[in-house]
Chains A and B, each alone.
Chain A
């Protein structure tokens, strides 16, 4: 992982409901968390004061190419609007996203799918809602997190060290994980459990489980039946140790191609 400045959308990857839409996308955004700005202007104040009110989060608009490739094309995946979608935007620095890079995630309303043309090329525009999908169980206003596991096929448990957070200390405001499973191989129902682990010291033996997807059945008779995606949240008073990393417990799966992000809450 490189740290530093982002080149722009060249460094972005976009995953929705277990589909990698990056190859069909031109840009996405603005990726925002907005607050009500409540002005406190009592007559005794020489300068108006501001309170921070209710938040709303949005990935803005996804602009892409109209592509009807069966099963995985943008048109095939996204033409049914009015539904919820698990969105993971991974953001690298001067390269494709790697483990430890920036993530922006949420369960958003896929509000509109509009086809047209842009620069002569058939285009598709997906407008996401301004807020979280109403039936989502998530109660976090924290879309920004860390991409613990960049898109990759994993065949063994993680023994690497993890990643520090931005305040370089543990927190006690909880957090949540998003996972996207793009493919898997194995036998039977292809079972695997995707996890986020945390530790006070950044060494392999110090990490313990923090969040778990629970055992996922990713296939049937050895055939992948996904894609899959989901979220798992901690209690909002849960302690999260300083370092985090991804982990996979392989059941009957031999390979899982996935991305995992963890959104640590910094502000109550």
Chain B
């Protein structure tokens, strides 16, 4: 396993489809991934410098994909290139469902993602909404589900289906 810096060509998305199988989706860009957090300003006017507390976290990200109806493929194993499933094939059947799905963004470090490389996601955590197509691109919004069974977090292990 390499450590250090990496390139976007080693980043891909893994999601549990409507049938409960993990699929790889390839992205058109690499959005900023992670929990955002409210900033609670508890400053008093007499403070020399403003004082802040962390507030509630949030996760909501829109990701662009090549618009494709390729057949669904089993997710790649550790060390293998992503096995691309069609974005339309997977996302159009998940759009609007309130069932929390497993989700991860895999960051391979200078190679195809391997166990111990960074992963952001969680088991049974995500809902998909706002599936949209425009020309050769489609997009969907991924949000932390009201029915999530687990927290979203950084880790180094593959995300599994529920």
Contact = CB atoms under 8 A, between A and B. Distances in A.
A47 B132 contact: no
Among A8, A9, A39, A267, find the residue whose CB has the most chain B CB atoms closer than 10 A. A267
Nearest to B26: A5
A47 B95 contact: no
Contacts of B133: 6, 29-32, 91, 104
A4 B68 contact: yes
Interface string B130-159: 111111100001011110100110000000
A167 B151 contact: no
B96 A49 contact: no
Interface stretch (A50-58, A127-135, A149-157): A50-58
Interface-central residue, B18, B56, B94, by most chain A CB under 10 Å:
B56
A68 interface: no
B96 A141 contact: yes
Contacts of A40: 146
Among A29, A48, A60, A169, the one with the most B-chain Cβ atoms within 10 Å of its Cβ is A48
Contacts of B89: 166
B64 to A, nearest CB: 11
Contacts of A55: 96
What class of interface size applies to chain A in its complex with B? 35 or more
B89 to A, nearest CB: 5
Contacts of B148: 49
B96 A48 contact: no
B131 A50 contact: no
Contacts of A141: 96
B92 interface: yes
A37 B141 contact: yes
A27 interface: yes
B57 A46 contact: yes
A48 B56 contact: yes
A219 to B, nearest CB: 36
Residue among B93, B135, B136, B143 with max Cβ neighbours from chain A (10 Å): B135
Given A37-B60, A41-B56, A48 B134 contact: no
A47 B93 contact: no
A7 interface: yes
B38 to A, nearest CB: 9
A47 B130 contact: no
A167 B93 contact: yes
B136 to A, nearest CB: 4
Nearest to A50: B143
B69 interface: yes
A111 interface: no
B71 interface: yes
Contacts of A102: 69, 88
A32 B130 contact: yes
A50 B130 contact: no
A141 B96 CA distance: 9
A16 B102 CA distance: 39
Interface of A: 3-9, 27, 29-35, 37, 39-41, 45-52, 55, 60, 91, 93, 101-102, 104, 141, 144, 166-169, 266-267
The 10 closest A-B pairs by CB, nearest first: A50-B143, A32-B132, A30-B134, A8-B136, A49-B146, A29-B134, A47-B57, A266-B93, A6-B67, A8-B135
27 contacts: A3-B68, A3-B86, A4-B68, A4-B69, A5-B70, A5-B136, A9-B135, A29-B134, A30-B134, A32-B131, A32-B133, A33-B130, A35-B130, A37-B143, A40-B146, A47-B57, A47-B144, A48-B58, A52-B96, A52-B98, A93-B69, A167-B19, A167-B93, A169-B19, A266-B94, A267-B94, A267-B97
